[in-house]
Amino acid sequence: MPSDIQTLLEQRLPEIREAADQFGNAGIVMHKGQIIAQSQSGVRQKGKQDKIQSTDKWHIGSITKSMTASMIGRLVDKNQLDFDATIAELLPNQKSQIDIAWYPVKLIELLQHTSGAKGNFNIPTMLNNSFADETALLQAREKAVLGALSKPPQNAPNTTFAYSNLGYTIAAYIAEQATNKSWETLVQEELFAPLQLSSAGFGAPKGEQPWGHATRFFLFTSAADPQSPGSDNTPIIGPAGTVHMSIRDLAHYGQMHLDALNGSTSFMSATTERRLHTPSELTKHNERYAAGWIIIPPRTPLDGEVLFHNGSNTMWYAFLIVEPKHDIVAAFTTNTGTIEESEAQFGALFQDLLLKME
């Protein structure tokens, strides 16, 4: 079986690269906690000859959200936060600066996209990409969060599902206030270090790594220099989507969540696992949202629910899926922002590998 899966990846990744207009891609499959297949195809940068390597780092976009939620879950287990505490309770020192409509919003609702928050900050905030140091970044994040909280939420809290980078940034700011540590430090201490995700970092990966590629004006695709602020979204919304790591570390991160589902890890409590993986009652359609994870219900060839999330900053695309029935974690990445095409191709590849596991 492992050889069949390896052959499948080696065959399909080059085909997917062509079908989805990708410059480079990679895939990995874990079964029962062990890597059984890994392959990659293509080049790191348009017009260059450097080939994708097995250890290359990939921007994972909104998969970062589940990492922010996992970090917060660790703080809940340490009694430093409470999923059911409200913004009024969690930010008492800032309460006078917050519109009262936000007061009853719970931390878990920020993580489930049911807080009423709009999708993003205002345009000036989203274009603010350069900071002298971490202190300047944290000041900008606080200013952006409190500015958003000074106005009523876009929707009445706990009435509507609305995907929100703003909501995740508010949740991270709450964690920063509870611990007096930056989100960046918290994710490193509570996630990267204990899980030994040594390749993990923030923003577009620098050095001899793949470059992200974006299509401009629907006409041409260009590579984004990772040294340029335009190579990623503003780090103000880092908690919603600016992590990068190797595909192996991404798969090992997914394995932690599979172990948590199976009750075979001490990384988080069983209570926290249930809260992170239980979808909001407001998302009862085919793909229900939990805390940083989409819960996909059983459908052919799936016999049970799976955890899924993807991510893109329009220059990269990453796909992570955790399938408990077959004890599988699979991840696929590309350095090209062809989101819909890449998702369709990676999804079909995952279904094919599942059929080989039967």
Least confident interval from 99-108, 163-172, 287-296, 312-321: 287-296
pLDDT range class, residue 92, cuts 50, 70, 90: very high
Structure-block tokens of residue 164:
């929100």
pLDDT for position 2? 78
Give the per-residue pLDDT at 301. Answer: 60
DSSP string, 252-306: HHHHHHHHHHTT--SSS-HHHHHHHHSPPTT--SSSEE-SS-EEEPP-TT-SS-E
Q: pLDDT tens digits for 47-61? A: 999 999 999 999 999
Give the Å distances, CA to CA, from 196 to 34, 193, 253: 15, 5, 9
List the domains of the chain with CATH numbers.
Answer: 2-65+190-357 (3.40.710.10), 83-179 (no CATH)
What's the CA angle centered on 349, arms 311 and 250, to 5 degrees? 40
Residue 302 has a pLDDT of 60
Q: What percent of the chain has pLDDT over 70?
A: 96
Length of the chain: 358
Determine the Cα–Cα distance for residues 305 and 297; give it in Å rounded to an integer.
5
Residue 303: pLDDT above 80? no
CB 160 within 8 A of CB 119: no
Percent of the chain with pLDDT over 90: 89
Distances (CA, A) of 250 to 189, 192, 297, 332: 17, 11, 23, 9
pLDDT bucket at 165, cuts 50 / 70 / 90: very high
pLDDT at 76 over 70: yes
pLDDT per residue as tens digits for the range 283-302 = 866 679 999 999 987 665 66
Burial of 244 (0-12, 13-18, 19+ CB in 10 A): buried
Give the pLDDT confidence of 206-261 residue by residue, as tens digits: 999 999 998 876 678 889 999 998 899 999 999 999 999 999 999 999 999 999 99
**What's the predicted TM-score (pTM) here?**
0.96
The pLDDT value given to residue 229:
86
